[in-house]
A and B are shown apart, each in its own frame.
Chain A
Amino acid sequence: MNLDWSQIVPYIPFMLEGIWVTLQFVIVSIVIGFIIGTVLALFKIGSMKPLRIFADFYTSMFRGTPLILQLMIIYLAVPQLTGYDISPFLSAILAFGLNSSAYVSEIIRAGISAVDKGQTEAAMALGVPYRQMMIDIILPQALKNILPALMNEFITLTKESAIVSTIGYLDLMRRGQVVGANLYRPFEPLLFIGLIYWGLVMVLSLMGKWVEGRLSKGD
């Protein structure tokens, strides 16, 4: 075993830049996934049957096929079909955002169902309109219940983001591979970016704990 860390030193800034690249599209994907996921969850619990069927179909499609396939389809098929040369970044946020929304919608749906039905009735009895009730009364309570599951989804997304390296997007993962190939020494750079992923996930978990603490002020 001969590890030589000195050789990767010149490449460290190059690899560190990958943190921002990865974070950028992970954050955008999380936001997209969360927004679409919330809407889908509302479709699923709503009274309009076509919307419910659509949301269920959407979820089964995105959960039932590999993420890497969805990414490839968006990245390769969009130019073939439309002639529009889609960038790796746009493909990535679309694939990850749409995929994540399927999982998030299930998490939120379960969270909403777990809120005591009495809360809905109390709000209805006060004359609170449905939309307002969802935003102010039901979703905040649902969110508190599902935060651990939601955090888990965000962590998964952060790690799975490494898949974009396959479409040549220069994220953290890809940079690790590039450096390894340059040096003919894959181990040190891969271990290095591994530590960075681990650090990112730790920060994410800590943030989750903090939010959880803030949301549980009523207990």
Chain B
Amino acid sequence: MINVEHLYKRFGKNEVLKDISIDIKQGEVVSVIGPSGSGKSTFLRCINLLETPTEGKISVAGVDLTDKNTNVTKAREKIGMVFQHFHLFPHLTVLENLTYAPLKVKRLSKAEAEEKALVLLDRVGLSDKKDSYPNSLSGGQKQRVAIARALAMEPDLMLFDEPTSALDPEMVKEVLDVMKDLAESGMTMLVVTHEMGFAREVADRVIFLDQGLLIEEGEPHAFFSQPKSERAKDFLDKIL
């Protein structure tokens, strides 16, 4: 599903990602962890080209995103993204947030878009909020709407950029539950997270980045109980 080959990203002289290569299969849930400043978010943002890679090749669902002739806007339709700070459209209602892209990008009819949006809102448990504006929602509710908004485009894979980091502790679970449910439904997911519980229980694979290098990857239980590298060991000692 995702194929990354020798990805480099530099901001000026600052090398943020160094020679990252990885393959992610359809239906796989991969957690990206690492200390802050390790390049995890930048890595994630390269996958849908919110950051332009300096070097390397990224293909998603067989489409080479780094090819100059690829219509990136078109390719992004199939890549859902959830942000740390939600980024819901504040001037649109919850329902309009969900139907906007399907209406304007996929050109669905209003009835069809709304029908699908209502199913998704029900799935994230927010049917009763469909006519509310984002600013009247709690953080957890906003993030669930943001997930539903991304799903409304029926993506092939979902990127999560620290989806619970901006939430109050009591709201983390409601968002993780939605993500867990999504993982179980077979969605391909790439999740940058500080939630080690999620990485351990839900992810099929964990990749550990530090200072722009992919240090270690592996099955979560093995990784958390017996990390192979010193740096991963240090990191886990600090946070667990």
Contact = CB atoms under 8 A, between A and B. Distances in A.
Contacts of B104: 128, 132, 136
A129 B90 contact: no
B92 to A, nearest CB: 7
Interface centre among B76, B133, B134, by most A CB within 10 Å? Answer: B76
Contacts of A118: 83, 85, 87
A119 B89 contact: yes
A141 B90 contact: yes
Interface of B: 48, 50, 73-81, 83, 85, 87-92, 100-101, 104-105, 133-135, 149-150, 153
Nearest to A121: B50
A165 B57 CA distance: 66
Contacts of A219: 90, 133, 135
Nearest to A122: B87
Task: Give the bracket for the number of chain A residues in contact with chain B.
Answer: 20 to 34
Contact of B89 (A121, A122, A130, A217): A122
Interface string A124-153: 111111101000110011001000000000
A219 B77 CA distance: 29
A218 B153 contact: no
A17 interface: no
Given A125-B150, A126-B76, A218 B105 contact: no
A68 B153 CA distance: 54
B87 A116 contact: yes
A126 B134 CA distance: 18
Contacts of B88: 122
A128 B105 contact: yes
A129 B73 CA distance: 6
A144 B89 CA distance: 13
Contacts of B92: 218
A125 B50 contact: yes
Contacts of A116: 87
Contacts of B80: 125
B91 A140 contact: yes
Interface centre among B88, B101, B133, B149, by most A CB within 10 Å? Answer: B101
Given A118-B83, A119-B89, A137-B89, A125 B76 contact: yes
